[in-house]
């Protein structure tokens, strides 16, 4: 694809997740202060229509919002994601016999047909007259692709259905964020119906809102509610801490990427997730503020610094134990990246970037992406309980981000069982088994990475109390990399931290630093 620039859980269903802040367009003022690393707005932001006028909350109650919705609906699209494959067609021998009987020439060889395999369906919104669309990354890249990302991108098709058009049009995937659940598409055309964006910082609890999109594939659907809460916490299990707008407007699977609009018809958020025990709406839905969504989309339009690591939150008990605040945990280091070349290692904690403290992993991602490729980044790190410094020359983040399978964002419900081992035993309430070469691929564990599989966790044990669970992979215990249950027991029994073990554990595809209290076992 050519680059012009540039909506889970056991029963929580993703509709999307986006991030960061909005800046100016036309006469509007910047909603967030610029940093010294800010490279200015990208070309995406310059094409948006933004209205930051405060909404009038007084006056008579309207009996109908039909006129307002009529103006907004043309900009709402339905997105079908799938793979188009060529299938061979066998020519019937009966057909050949008839042709011979009637003296007709043989039919030319069949070239086969096209088979469309739909992988997902979601919503999106046109935000510029020349055809840019904001939607969710998981709409474009459904979980469980079953293939490498680069292979999928080579054959993936995006069909966009626009109101008033009989046939869908093919969209180009401009880019998607590897850190946030946002993607930008482009459809051909000019003077297309585009939505107007509001300033989501002005949204208040109690404001009337509407959710638009294609829930369960039923397009042109509108539901109404209010803003129930403004959140900035990890309200959904597995969702990173972030700013969210909570609403009781009905949001269902398929609303992914569709907008949440105010009573004036302006976009205030992108429908992103629901809390559900049934698979359908239960009156608790969430949207990403549009300011954050646009800033993430705009960041895709300009060169971004690339480090080449998987960043995870820091366990706060570990932070208190070692006497530091904030920081970002390095869950993995990609081969051949600036991080690897500079000597950064899995298990490091990045405490500072260019002499300024790192608040958390999201803070570090944002600051790294604001630095231009080729710039020097000085990192203060914690490794094996000791502080140190590294200087990294940032690379240029490739379009479409790191070459990792996007389905890795959704850990499997349970890891495959490892082969049985006669000498396996329980350590701190967990049954530990080695991982052999045959099992490693199914666990997404490289051959060079040591690891032990937790095959069982006893209730009310130190392991269970620390959050460990069956299927987790232990990478390190107190700076050691045990290769057997015996070595794991030795690492735990030779404690020097007052009965506290620090474990590097991979849960699904996310590596975490976890604290286990074994002083009372």
Strands (DSSP E) found in 177-275? 183-186, 208-213, 221-233, 242-247, 259-262, 267-275
- Spatial separation of the C-alpha atoms in residues 166 and 177, rounded to whole Å: 31
Element of type H or E holding 463: helix 462-465
Q: Say how many residues make up the chain.
A: 521
Residue 197 sits at φ, ψ, to 5 deg, of -100, 140
The two most distant CA atoms of the chain are separated, in Å, by 94
Whether 301 sits among the annotated catalytic residues: the reply is no
Instruction: Say if residues 382 and 327 touch (Cβ distance below 8 Å).
Output: yes
Instruction: Say if residues 392 and 376 touch (Cβ distance below 8 Å).
Output: yes
Residues 6 or more apart whose Cβ sits within 8 Å of residue 196: 49, 50, 51, 265, 266, 267
Instruction: Say if residues 118 and 81 touch (Cβ distance below 8 Å).
Output: yes
Residue 464 CA: distances (Å) to CA of 429, 431, 468, 516: 7, 11, 5, 9
Reported as half-sphere exposure (CB side, CA atoms, 13 A), residue 179 has a value of: 29
Burial of 88 (0-12, 13-18, 19+ CB in 10 A): exposed
Neighbours of 312 (CB within 10 A): 19
- Spatial separation of the C-alpha atoms in residues 411 and 393, rounded to whole Å: 31
Question: Among the options 19, 194, 228, 256, which is catalytic?
Answer: 256
Question: Residue 427 pairs with which residues in a beta bridge?
Answer: 430
Sign of CA dihedral 376, 379, 384, 387: positive
- Spatial separation of the C-alpha atoms in residues 171 and 238, rounded to whole Å: 30
Question: Among the options 128, 177, 178, 181, which is catalytic?
Answer: 181
Question: Among the options 138, 276, 361, 461, which is catalytic?
Answer: 138
Residue whose C-alpha is closest to residue 509's, from 437, 431, 404, 433? 404
Sign of CA dihedral 272, 275, 276, 277: positive
Whether 256 sits among the annotated catalytic residues: the reply is yes
- Spatial separation of the C-alpha atoms in residues 509 and 413, rounded to whole Å: 11
Contacts 24+ apart (CB under 8 A), 226-233: 227/203, 228/284, 229/205, 230/203, 230/205, 231/286
Residues 6 or more apart whose Cβ sits within 8 Å of residue 390: 342, 343, 344, 378, 379, 381
Residue whose C-alpha is closest to residue 326's, from 239, 384, 201, 241? 241
Structure tokens at 509: 């595809």
Whether 175 sits among the annotated catalytic residues: the reply is no
Q: What amino acid positions are annotated as catalytic residues?
A: 138, 181, 256
């Amino acid at each position: 694809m050519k680059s012009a620039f540039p909506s889970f859980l056991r029963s929580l269903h993703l509709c999307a997740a986006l991030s960061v802040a909005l800046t100016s367009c036309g006469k509007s003022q910047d909603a967030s202060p610029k940093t010294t690393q800010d490279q200015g707005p990208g070309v995406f932001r310059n094409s948006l229509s933004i209205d930051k006028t405060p909404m009038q909350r007084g006056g008579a109650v309207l009996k109908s919002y039909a006129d307002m919705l009529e103006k907004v609906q043309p900009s709402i699209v339905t997105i079908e994601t799938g793979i188009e494959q060529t299938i061979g067609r066998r020519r019937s021998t009966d057909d050949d016999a008839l042709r011979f009987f009637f003296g007709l020439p043989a039919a030319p060889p069949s070239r086969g047909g096209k088979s469309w395999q739909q992988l997902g369906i979601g919503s999106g919104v046109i935000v510029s007259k020349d055809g840019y669309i904001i939607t969710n990354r998981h709409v474009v890249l459904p979980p469980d692709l079953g293939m490498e990302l680069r292979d999928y991108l080579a054959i993936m098709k995006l069909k966009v259905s626009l109101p008033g058009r009989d046939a869908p049009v093919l969209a180009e995937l401009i880019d998607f964020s590897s850190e946030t659940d946002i993607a930008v598409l482009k459809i051909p055309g000019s003077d297309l119906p585009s939505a107007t964006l509001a300033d989501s910082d002005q949204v208040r609890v109690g404001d009337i809102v509407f959710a638009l999109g294609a829930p369960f594939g039923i397009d042109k659907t509108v539901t109404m509610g209010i803003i129930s809460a403004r959140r900035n916490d990890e309200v959904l299990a597995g969702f990173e801490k972030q700013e969210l707008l909570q609403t009781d407007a009905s949001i269902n699977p398929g609303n992914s990427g569709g907008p949440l609009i105010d009573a004036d018809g302006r976009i205030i958020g992108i429908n992103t997730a629901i809390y559900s025990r049934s698979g359908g709406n239960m009156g608790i839905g969430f949207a990403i503020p549009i300011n954050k969504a646009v800033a993430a989309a705009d960041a895709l339009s300009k060169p971004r610094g690339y480090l080449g690591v998987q960043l995870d939150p820091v366990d706060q008990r570990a932070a208190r134990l070692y006497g530091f605040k904030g920081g970002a945990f390095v869950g993995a280091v990609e081969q051949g990246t600036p991080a690897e070349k500079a000597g950064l290692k899995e298990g490091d904690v990045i405490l500072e970037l260019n002499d300024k403290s790192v608040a958390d992993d999201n803070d570090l991602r944002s600051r790294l992406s604001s630095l231009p490729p080729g710039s020097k980044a000085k990192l203060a790190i914690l490794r094996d309980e000791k502080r140190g410094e590294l200087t990294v020359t940032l690379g240029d983040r490739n379009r479409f981000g790191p070459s990792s399978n996007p389905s890795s964002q959704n850990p499997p419900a349970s890891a495959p069982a490892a082969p049985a081992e006669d000498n396996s035993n329980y350590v701190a309430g967990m049954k530990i088994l080695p991982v052999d070469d045959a099992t490693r691929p199914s666990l997404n564990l490289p051959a060079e990475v040591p690891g032990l599989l937790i095959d069982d966790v006893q209730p009310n044990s130190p392991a269970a109390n620390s959050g460990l669970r069956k299927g987790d992979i232990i990478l390190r215990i107190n700076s050691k990399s045990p290769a057997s249950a015996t070595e794991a027991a030795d690492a735990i029994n030779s404690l020097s931290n007052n009965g506290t073990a620090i474990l590097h554990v991979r849960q699904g595809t996310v590596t975490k630093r976890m604290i286990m209290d074994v002083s009372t076992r």
